[in-house]
Structure 1
Amino acid sequence: MSNIEQSTELFELAQSAMNKAYVPYSRFHVGAAILTANGKLYSGCNVENAAFPEGTCAEAGAIASMVLGGDTLIKDIYVIGKGEELVTPCGGCRQKIREFSSADTMIHICGEDGVRKSLTMNELLPFSFGPENLDLQAG
């Protein structure tokens, strides 16, 4: 599969997830699709509940699906929302993506018209805190 075909498939997977979002309170649909380093695809949508603003972001759902599927390294993640502005991951999701990223991980911010902006993990969350910051040997 070519990079263009793969990009199209990921965009369409994120868009399909966005269209299935459960957002009766904000009515703000978001979808996410992940390509792992192993070539597997995962997706997620945002899910709200009556204790609004408690809920789950699309990126968090896609990451949970990825971990359940046995993968832990994001190669690319596509995040899509409606509207004129860029729908970038919230602060919490930036950290969640960071946990499963490498320096080569790309975050693609999409609108209904396609990819609007692509960023590396370091561009999205510079000077981030990650697993390597913890001295797991201590203690």
Structure 2
Amino acid sequence: MQLSIDGTTHELDVEPDMPLLWVLRDELGLKGVKYGCGIAQCGACTVQIDGQAVRSCQVMAGDVWGEVTTIHGLGSPETLHAVQAAWVAHQVAQCGYCQSGQITAAAALLAEVPNPTDTDIDDALSGNLCRCGTYPRIRAAVKTAAKKLQEG
């Protein structure tokens, strides 16, 4: 099976019913994609497929319909994505476990809604749980990233 992940095409010998989450973590070593609940309720495993935020624990490898972007593919340590930079600036992370899913979902939101309202942000990220409760910082970081992306 061939999957395009973070700009690289991978030839994988996996069963089509293997969850994408396990392909990413176990087959490719992309540990930034987190396992949280396994039932698509927490959002820790969120990745993008063709720009759409999805729960990788519930998408089977054989059902992947396009380019997969993980937290590893959004930016690099040298060139952070605007959302990643805003996360750092607003000191969003506490325990950090939910952050890769939150950031990936926020980047998908900003690609669709360049100037989101509080309601847009809350709706887009409502399924991404943060046990530390940094939701006000998350919202502020998304707004900062939106401004940065609009500035170019």
TM-score (norm: length of structure 2): 0.28
Q: Which has the higher strand share?
A: 1
TM-score (norm: length of structure 1): 0.30
